[in-house]
Structure 1
Amino acid sequence: MTITVQKIQTENKLPNTTSVVIIGGGIVGVSAALTLAERNIPVVLIEKGHIAGEQSSRNLGWIRKTSRHYEDVPLALAADKLWQDMPQRIGHDLGYKRCGIMFLAENAEQMSNHSQWLNSVKSLNLDSRLLTAEEVKDLVPGGQKKWVGGVYTPSDGKAEPAIAATEIAKAAIKKGAIIIQHCAVRKLNLSEGKVTGVITEHGEIKCNKALLTGGAWSRRFLNNHGISLPTLPLVCSVLRTKEMQGPTNISVGGPDFSFRKHQNGGYILTQRGALDAPITLDHLTIGWRYLKQLKTQRGFLRVSVGSDFIKDLKIKRHWKANEISPFEQVRTSNPNSNPALIKEAIDNTRKAWPIFDNAEIDETWAGIIDVTPDSNPVIDHIKKIPGLTIATGFSGHGFGTGPAAGHLAADLVSNHTPIINPSPYKFERW
């Protein structure tokens, strides 16, 4: 986990009743809590560990429209506006800046992919544009590799994951939300199939609506209620450098590296061309759903079979309300970063921009990404369980759209007009 993550103190007394219980304290959950509290809807958010303990504080901090699926761009556009207005809304700066994001192409095929994406979103009137090799040099000077060109969106941005969800949670509390940390929700309490409460390790809260924003844990929680959510875990390794001079403030993604400026003056780097895929039982049971992705992204996944398989088998898949749940067995997922991927990240960045030869690693960490078969999340009611809504499966893109995703989830829960058309995120699409 990044050592810079900010933690907060919250209540530890569980109320008897509320209108909405949110399960999971990442950026989507706290954004939903903030939106509901602003509408004076009683809401309690319950987090098994601490706020933003997992992927919400471990991601790269990119806020982008570039290379998103066409149907996912409206959510990203809504998020842009919410990020921009957030300091006034919550009274705290989250490090949000429209720094621009650039994806590079080292051959004609990659350039064609960027061109195809740009054509696919032409009707959305983004400020994205294709770059020539000379324009790449002008915008990011000092490079040594020969790029064919790239795609660039000046209005894309960044924020700081180590503080964002925490500060949004603080604002939600000030506006009336109750947040409980270090408390696991074991199960939903159902009456005639409808949500009437949630049962935690410290007792029950009565409610008529529940919102699940559990990230990589959502599949296991839903499976215990007979709902199959097709998400699989992947692991991203990240490093942060000490303060240094860099080539640009633009966030840059190459085929096998990425970098963006951090608020401390250093850079966040990753091996953009690889994620770890430690095999678990879920990979064996639903991996067939991902065959299309595997065909188009060969070499992207570093598959391994080892201790993670055994660890996963030891975590419960079925449990009763009076039994210890998986969420008490593992309060916070804290995978080790992969030294090989960390080395590749900094080596590949140095080859492209030699100024990173001076980079000193300040820290490394890793986070678990919950990936869906089409790389889009689910933000929808679960028809089989009236009163249950889920917002999960963000496939590594959730931080950037987090405020809008939480807002949309709150809209669905409270029957407000949705901030954007939610149809791309229907659960039934699978």
Structure 2
Amino acid sequence: MRAYGESADGPPLARLPSSDAVPERCDIAIIGGGIIGLSTARELARAGVSVALFEKGEMAGEQSSRNWGWVRRTGRDLRELPLMQLSGDIWDGLNAATGHETGYRRSGIAYAARSLAAVERYRRWATAAADYGVESTVLDGASIAAMAPGLTREVAGGLFTAADGRAEPQLANHAIARAAAAHGARLFGNCAVRTIDVSAGRTSGVVTERGLVRCGAVVVAGGAWSRLLLQGVGATLPQLKLLSSVLRTAPVEAGIEPCMSFSDFALRRRLDGGYSVATSAVSVSQIVPDSLRFFRTFLPAYLAERQNIRLRLGRAFLAEALDWRPGVADRTSIYEAVRRLSPRPDAATLTKVQKDLAKALPVFAGVPVVQSWAGMIDSTPDAIPVISEVASLPGCFVGTGFSGHGFGIGPGAGRVLAQLATGATPTVDLAAFDLNRFAADPKLELQQWL
């Protein structure tokens, strides 16, 4: 197999022990050991369902441990808010429920606005979000500046949601996995699912690199790999990958408690006293065969966000064109050849982020950068997830395409996926997240609020 880009280490993860022998049968199999899959496994195991989760590499080794660590209602697409409200309730009790530290703190999240026009957009969003029970406040410039002591730039105002918070991705995934295992879920790391087994037109199992596991339902929670997994059973999922880069600083007494987003950088205080810093102003999109395959579907989103997306053509195109194929039962798959997507961070982006941060908040000038990393965000054309049964394959369910919003919403997504997979009525209406929307509506609704 050809190398997929350049590899770089992500944040350090605590090792999770894998279960021993792969079972011959379980009630539900989960493909993917990120926060969505782990949360689903925990919910199923708590309900007494026999569940086995298979992760091709290290648990939470890709985007689930590489995200910003925000638990955010603020600025979300309104269609996500009911699910995020559910997730927020779960986060509030997750330390106690798992018996492990997740790093979750209800610190609030603030968006700073540089113009009065942006303040007005925030006001419209807050008014609409109130219908979903979200209490967000539009603040003046002085109130926002007071949240970031020493801020040197003028801000016109901002949006603040006190119920939002932050967590440590590496700790949270570990806590959820430990809790899932304690309830009886069997977790298998470094065990790729090559393909989904189908009998008589419905899901009947998963073929892992260690053998066939029979089951009545499968949950595909493979993040950036979900599209390929579904292609293997004849289902089309429009999904592309966006590279997002993050740095973390050494501990510093900056006095900034809430997560804060400015026009050119965003930051979150960490339990270790440092800050995770990134930006939503720039994302890198590698041009790969899927970019051409889904060109028309993604074009409206690209045009709406083109000032924030940097297209890049490189070795990834050739690697995916030649090697990225759905797996087959009796041959080594791409999922075994590429155990982890661990791309190098975009140095130019992080250099600018660090410069902008130090200029706006001089307390960060000279503070060492301890580490930087990047991850691949699984994105959909309308930037909201797919949480759905696959209509063409009964018993196959998918939770993917969270478009950079998956960490905060993950525990709630796990709950509704568990409900879907067991035939229960989901706590939240999932109509907006149906996989069929891409085929049914070529003019997908894009968020217009922020």
TM over 0.5, yes or no?
yes
Q: 1:179 aligns with which of 187, 193, 201?
A: 187
**Structure 1 stretch displaced more, 304-313 or 33-42:** 304-313
2:76 counterpart residue number = 68
Structure 2 residue 410 is the aligned partner of structure 1 residue 402: yes
Q: 1:325 aligns with which of 330, 333, 336?
A: 333
Structure 1 distance, partners of 2:357, 2:226, is 35
Structure 2 distance, partners of 1:4, 1:305, is 29
Q: Summarize deviations over 1:345-366 as a string: whole Å, max 9, x none.
A: 1111122211111321000000
Structure 2 distance, partners of 1:86, 1:417, is 23
Cα offset, 1:320, TM superposition: 2.3
Q: 2:321 aligns with which of 313, 317, 320?
A: 313
Decide whether the 8 Å contact of 1:20 with 1:42 is kept in 2: yes
1:98 counterpart residue number = 106
Q: Name structure 1 gaps, 5 residues minimum.
A: none
Structure 2 distance, partners of 1:285, 1:208, is 32
| 1:241 partner letter | T
2:12 counterpart residue number = 4
Decide whether the 8 Å contact of 1:142 with 1:247 is kept in 2: no
Decide whether the 8 Å contact of 1:257 with 1:273 is kept in 2: yes
Q: 2:197 aligns with which of 169, 189, 195?
A: 189
1:412 counterpart residue number = 420
Structure 2 distance, partners of 1:165, 1:75, is 19
Other structure's SS at 1:97 match: coil
Decide whether the 8 Å contact of 1:216 with 1:370 is kept in 2: yes
2:164 counterpart residue number = 156
Against the structure 1 CA distance between its residues 319 and 22, is the aligned structure 2 distance closer, same or farther, given a 3 Å change threshold?
closer
User: Map of 1:130-145 to 2, 5 A cutoff?
Assistant: 130-145=138-153
Runs of 4+ in 1 over 3 A off after TM superposition: none
1:52 counterpart residue number = 60
Decide whether the 8 Å contact of 2:29 with 2:53 is kept in 1: yes
Cα offset, 1:319, TM superposition: 4.0
Q: 1:252 aligns with which of 260, 273, 277?
A: 260
| 2:76 partner letter | R
Structure 2 residue 322 is the aligned partner of structure 1 residue 284: no
Structure 2 residue 203 is the aligned partner of structure 1 residue 198: no
Relative to the length of structure 1, the TM-score reads 0.97
Structure 2 distance, partners of 1:351, 1:314, is 45
Other structure's SS at 1:299 match: helix
User: Map of 1:208-357 to 2, 5 A cutoff?
Assistant: 208-357=216-365
Structure 2 residue 44 is the aligned partner of structure 1 residue 28: no
Other structure's SS at 1:88 match: helix
Q: Summarize deviations over 1:339-397 as a string: whole Å, max 9, x none.
A: 11111111111222111113210000000001101111011111100110110000000
| 1:271 partner letter | T
Other structure's SS at 1:248 match: coil
Structure 1 distance, partners of 2:112, 2:145, is 11
Structure 2 distance, partners of 1:58, 1:287, is 27
Q: Summarize deviations over 1:264-320 as a string: whole Å, max 9, x none.
A: 100000122101111111111102212222222232011111122122223232442
Structure 2 distance, partners of 1:109, 1:351, is 24
Structure 2 residue 146 is the aligned partner of structure 1 residue 125: no
Other structure's SS at 1:121 match: helix
**Structure 1 stretch displaced more, 234-243 or 10-19:** 10-19
Q: 1:375 aligns with which of 376, 383, 387?
A: 383
Q: Paired residues, what number?
A: 430
Structure 2 distance, partners of 1:194, 1:156, is 40
Against the structure 1 CA distance between its residues 130 and 6, is the aligned structure 2 distance closer, same or farther, given a 3 Å change threshold?
same
**Structure 1 stretch displaced more, 113-122 or 12-21:** 113-122
Structure 1 distance, partners of 2:262, 2:296, is 29
Other structure's SS at 2:340 match: coil
Structure 1 distance, partners of 2:26, 2:305, is 45
Cα offset, 1:120, TM superposition: 2.3
Decide whether the 8 Å contact of 2:101 with 2:171 is kept in 1: no
Decide whether the 8 Å contact of 1:102 with 1:250 is kept in 2: yes
**Structure 1 stretch displaced more, 289-298 or 68-77:** 289-298
Other structure's SS at 1:298 match: helix
Other structure's SS at 2:365 match: helix
Structure 1 distance, partners of 2:197, 2:299, is 36
Cα offset, 1:332, TM superposition: 0.5
Other structure's SS at 1:72 match: helix
Decide whether the 8 Å contact of 2:147 with 2:257 is kept in 1: no
Other structure's SS at 1:134 match: helix
Decide whether the 8 Å contact of 1:12 with 1:181 is kept in 2: no
Decide whether the 8 Å contact of 1:49 with 1:182 is kept in 2: yes
Task: Name the % identity.
Answer: 34
Structure 2 distance, partners of 1:199, 1:316, is 18
Cα offset, 1:111, TM superposition: 2.2
Structure 1 distance, partners of 2:122, 2:302, is 20
Cα offset, 1:400, TM superposition: 0.1
Q: 1:89 aligns with which of 85, 97, 104?
A: 97
Relative to the length of structure 2, the TM-score reads 0.93
Cα offset, 1:5, TM superposition: 1.9
Q: 2:48 aligns with which of 27, 34, 40?
A: 40
